[in-house]
């Protein structure tokens, strides 16, 4: 299964690519679905399911409390890339 998210227009120009694999720490904006328009950081990534959790996107449980809502990776736009990882930074800059 392919797992990726679109980059914002500024990041597309900077890295010369359309998509990137989302990681924890990336900032994203949800562009489709029930939570459209919400921005936040990625808190958890599930590549096998093709989903990710965004901080602040939760649903009320019947018994009380909240649970994070998994968002499909294709429904988000990456607005800021977390590049503390040297390998990821070198791969992104290699495509420039």
Domain boundaries in the chain? 5-94
pLDDT in tens, 46-74: 999 999 999 999 999 999 999 999 999 99
pLDDT in tens, 6-52: 999 999 999 999 999 999 999 999 999 999 999 999 999 999 999 99
CATH of 5-94, one of 2.30.30.30, 1.10.10.10, 2.60.120.10, 2.120.10.30: 2.30.30.30
Separation between Cα atoms, residue 37 and residue 55, nearest integer Å? 13
pLDDT the model gives residue 54: 96
Separation between Cα atoms, residue 1 and residue 15, nearest integer Å? 24
Pairing of β 5-7 and β 76-80: parallel
Contact present, 27 and 79 (Cβ < 8 Å) = yes
The token duo for 18 is 């359309």
Contact present, 38 and 54 (Cβ < 8 Å) = yes
Q: Which residues contact 93 (CB under 8 A, 6 or more apart)?
A: 15
């Amino acid at each position: 299964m392919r797992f990726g998210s679109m980059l914002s227009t500024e990041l597309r120009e900077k890295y010369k690519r359309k998509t990137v694999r989302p990681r924890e720490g990336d900032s994203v904006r949800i562009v489709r679905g029930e939570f459209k328009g919400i921005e936040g950081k990625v808190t958890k990534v599930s590549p096998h399911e093709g989903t990710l959790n965004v901080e602040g996107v939760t649903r009320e449980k019947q018994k009380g409390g909240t649970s994070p809502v998994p968002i499909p990776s294709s429904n988000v736009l990456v607005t800021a890339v977390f590049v503390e990882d040297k390998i990821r930074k070198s791969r992104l800059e290699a495509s420039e």
